[in-house]
Amino acid sequence: MNQIIDNCVDILNNSGVILYPTDTIWGIGCNALDENAIQKIYSIKQRPISKSLIILVESEKRLQDLVDVPNLAWDIIDLSEKPVTIIYENPKKLPKSIIAEDNTIAIRLTKDVFCKKLISKLNAPLISTSANIHGAETAKNYSQISEEIKNQMDYIVPLRQNETSEQNASSIIKINHNGVVKIIRE
């Protein structure tokens, strides 16, 4: 796995995009601090720039470096039985292109071992967006990802490609500064 992570980091440090397994569905990813790579992902997905992207972090510290984490968010992360992405207000140190118009960012603290090691070695948050063209059905496993997507990747992680079980996207929850919780996706 270490060689695969090194390969990913080399690609990601050179504005590349990767196709990789996550704690949910397969994702298209790049260094979340690399504006050129972010634009590549929008182009590959044919996604409107107005639709913000999710990022993954591997540690509580990195999460706290990017947003002020309300106590309620820690409770949700700790108690959630499935992966949960939380939308936080007022992100710091992130490119404007991944921040929503209402000045929020969706972040998931991943529990996936591969993702945690990759993000740690990259030393930056990682974009994680579904491996499909915008508006098309989400691929639930590697075999469902279109050749159109695969052919545009700089690197495809050679792990978990033979899994046939269908994975689901994470829950998405928005927490406002006043403590109001809104479920965006269950």
Given a cut of 90, is residue 28 above it in pLDDT?
A: yes
For residue 69, what are the domain limits? 2-185
Q: How many structural domains are present in the chain?
A: 1
Q: Which residues contact 37 (CB under 8 A, 6 or more apart)?
A: 12, 15, 16, 17, 30, 31, 127
44-81 pLDDT tens trace? 999 988 888 999 999 999 999 999 999 999 999 999 98
Q: Which CATH number covers residue 45?
A: 3.90.870.10
Run of H or E residues at 14 = none
Give the pLDDT score at 169: 86
115-131 pLDDT tens trace? 999 999 999 999 999 99
